[in-house]
Chain A
Amino acid sequence: MELYRNTIFGFYRESDSLIHRIDPRIKIILLFIFIIYMSFVKTFSEIILIGIFLFFIIKLSDSSFLYILKGLKPVLPIIILIWIFQILFYMGEPGRIFFQWHFIRISSLGIKISCLMMIKAISIYFISSIFFLTTELISFTNAIERLILPLQKIKFPSHEIIMVGVIAFRFVPTLIEELERLMKAQIARGANLDRGNFIIRTIKLSGLLIPLFISAYERAEDLILAMESRCYRGGKGRTGRISKKFKKLDFFSVIYVLLIFIFIFLLVRYFKLP
């Protein structure tokens, strides 16, 4: 029952690579560009070109391909099962049909498109992993704050949203401790939390969840009182603790990535690669 000691935090790998040095704001924007572009990929040649691009990113970020791939090992059976289901229940144009039984069928196009889907998902996993390997959680949250703060001008509550995130992550360790205490108390009373079917387990779980929610609410009421009595009024007129300026590297990275994507896009469309 040593929940707190056995809880896993952190993923970041310290280094001074090129990708590490890019401003986190830029990295977030580039990540989104990559993910949105990936959503529209429809051909294998595009995937291969993006794979080459990903390979260079991994090399530049000083992390290893195998290290990220190893992370996928525990979910590999699930991915394969999902892939098989995608093939069996493929609804679109079939191409050549190998096998058919009612609405279940195995077809050439079904296999091709399902493979494409799985590779897409895995390449997005790769790019997101590289992002978190090269960006600390702290600088990530700072970057998000600085990205959405300008939206305050159009009455978007950016500061408040950041505050919600800060409170949430601040209270996780406190609540883990609380939960550990509650579990010990329940077990001492003879509770057997991991037996029975899901309804019985849910009802048993509520013996933990009710006190957890109530104590969370109590803490919330205290915090509300404390903040209101100190006249908390959001982040009006506040400046950031860290004010980073964009460097040359940031501009170049955006230009390079955009150029690469435009190049891949045009190459595949112009030559009508498969």
Chain B
Amino acid sequence: MKITVRQIVIAGILGAIAILLGWPVLGALPIGFIPVPNISGHATIMHIPAILGGVLEGPIVGILVGGIFGFASFYMATTISPNPFFSDPLVAILPRLFIGLISYLVYTATKKINNSVALIFAGIFGSFTNTIFVLGMIHLTGKGNFLAWLIQVLPQAIVEAVIAAIIALIIGKAIDVYRGSRGVKAK
């Protein structure tokens, strides 16, 4: 497997955005958290760089950004904003690798219909991949029952999917325009 310089750098910088969106700021919610009446109190947009990485730069970048996001989530859950369920790398990192991959697959499958529709679908599916795979891993590592968890996080999952669809569409389009102006070829 060969990774080009371009893939390394773009994955790194999108990973930096994912970390930045969830990093705790004293006395305030991180920028990437949007309040939702739910068990955790907020929906996150931290997974969106992974979705965009998969959609805009291909599956490898998507997987790498997902990995960085997963690591950041694992580190934060164990240290600065504790959450016992994400302090397990099997729950925090492993499922996140699939976000970019599945968004990429959905995007390439629906691209023929319309670019905007494909971006929306990629956002929705990427977001649900995050929810379902994390809950599945929580179930597999014996930290809870899948259904009981799903009932609790369903409002958050739906809100996250809607937000991911909106942001993936807006930023996907914006970066397409930017690339057009720079003459960078899209993958």
Q: Chain B residues near A224: list those with CB within 8 A.
A: 5-6, 9-10
Q: Within 8 Å CB of B51, what residues of A?
A: none
Chain A count of residues within 8 A CB distance of the other chain: 81
- A176-B142 contact given A86-B148, A128-B87, A214-B174, CB 8 Å threshold: no
Establish whether residues B78 and A210, one from each chain, have CB atoms under 8 Å apart when the complex forms.
no
Among B11-19, B98-106, B113-121, the one that faces the other chain is B11-19
- Mask, A66-82, CB within 8 Å of B = 1, is 00000110110011011
For A176, what are the chain B residues with a Cβ–Cβ distance below 8 Å?
20, 23
Among the listed A120, A174, A206, which residue makes an inter-chain contact with B170, where contact means beta carbons less than 8 Å apart?
Answer: A206
Q: Which of B78, B79, B82, B163 contacts A75 (CB 8 A)?
A: B82
Instruction: Give the docked Cα–Cα distance between A266 and B89 (Å).
Output: 26
Chain B residues with CB under 8 A of A39? 90, 140-142
The total of Cβ contacts below 8 Å across the A-B interface reads: 226
Check B88 against A132 for contact (C-beta < 8 Å).
no
Which residues in chain A, 50-102, are within 8 Å of chain B measured between CB atoms? 71-72, 74-75, 78-79, 81-82, 85-86, 88-91
Complex-state Cα separation, A175 to B140, whole angstroms: 36
B144 at the interface (CB under 8 A from A): yes
**Chain A residues whose C-beta falls within 8 Å of the C-beta of B7 in the assembled complex:** 160
Contact of B163 among A85, A202, A213, A219 (CB under 8 A): A202
- Closest Cβ of chain B to A239, distance in Å, is 20
Contact assessment for A165 and B68 in the assembled complex, using a CB-CB cutoff below 8 Å: yes
Contacts of B162 in A (CB 8 A): 198-199, 202
Does A271 count as interface, using CB distance less than 8 angstroms? no
Tell whether, in the assembled complex, residue B141 and residue A122 are in contact, meaning their CB atoms are under 8 Å apart. Answer: no
Chain A hits for B52, CB < 8 A: 213
Residues of B within 8 A of A221 (CB): 182, 184
CA gap between A137 and B80 in the complex, in Å? 13
Q: How far is the CA of A53 from the CA of B143 in the complex (A)?
A: 20
Whether A124 contacts B88 by the Cβ 8 Å rule is yes
Taking a contact as CB atoms under 8 Å apart, the answer to whether B9 and A122 are in contact is no
Q: Which of A166-219 contact B (CB under 8 A)?
A: 166-172, 174-176, 179, 198-199, 201-203, 205-206, 208-210, 212-214, 216-217, 219
- Asked if A8 and B26 make an inter-chain contact with CB atoms under 8 angstroms apart, the answer reads yes
With a CB–CB cut-off of 8 A, which chain A residues contact B3? 157, 160-161
| Minimum Cβ distance to chain A for residue B161 (Å) | 12
**Set of chain B residues within 8 Å of A256, measured between Cβ atoms:** none
For the complex, is A254 an interface residue (Cβ under 8 Å from B)?
A: no
| A75–B83 CB distance below 8 A | yes
Which residues on the A side are within 8 Å of B148 (C-beta)? 85-86, 88-90
Task: Point out the residues of chain B lying under 8 angstroms from A117, CB to CB.
Answer: 142-144
What are the residues of chain B within 8 A of A32 when measuring CB–CB? 89
Interface size classification for chain B: 35 or more
Give the CA-CA distance A100 to B89 in the complex, in Å: 36
Beyond A85-B151, A129-B78, A176-B20, whether A165 also contacts B142 by CB under 8 A is no
Cβ < 8 Å to A, chain B residues 20-77: 20, 23-28, 31, 34-36, 39-40, 43, 45, 52, 64, 67-68, 71, 74-75, 77
**Inter-chain contacts of B10 with A (CB < 8 A):** 217, 220, 224
Q: Which residues of B contact A206 (CB under 8 A)?
A: 166-167, 170-171
In the bound complex, residues from chain B placing their C-beta under 8 Å from that of A169 are 16, 19
* B2 interfacial contact with A, CB 8 Å: yes
Q: Does B175 contact A (CB under 8 A)?
A: yes
Q: Which residues of B contact A (CB under 8 A)?
A: 1-3, 5-20, 23-28, 31, 34-36, 39-40, 43, 45, 52, 64, 67-68, 71, 74-75, 77-80, 82-85, 87-90, 140-145, 147-149, 151-152, 159, 162-163, 166-167, 170-171, 174-175, 178, 182, 184
Query: 5 closest pairs, A vs B, by CB?
Result: A167-B12, A168-B15, A89-B148, A171-B16, A125-B84
Provide a sorted-by-A list of 23 A–B residue pairs whose CB atoms are within 8 angstroms. A6-B27, A40-B142, A74-B82, A82-B149, A85-B148, A85-B149, A86-B148, A89-B151, A125-B77, A156-B1, A157-B1, A157-B3, A165-B68, A167-B12, A168-B12, A172-B20, A179-B31, A202-B34, A206-B166, A209-B167, A213-B17, A221-B182, A221-B184
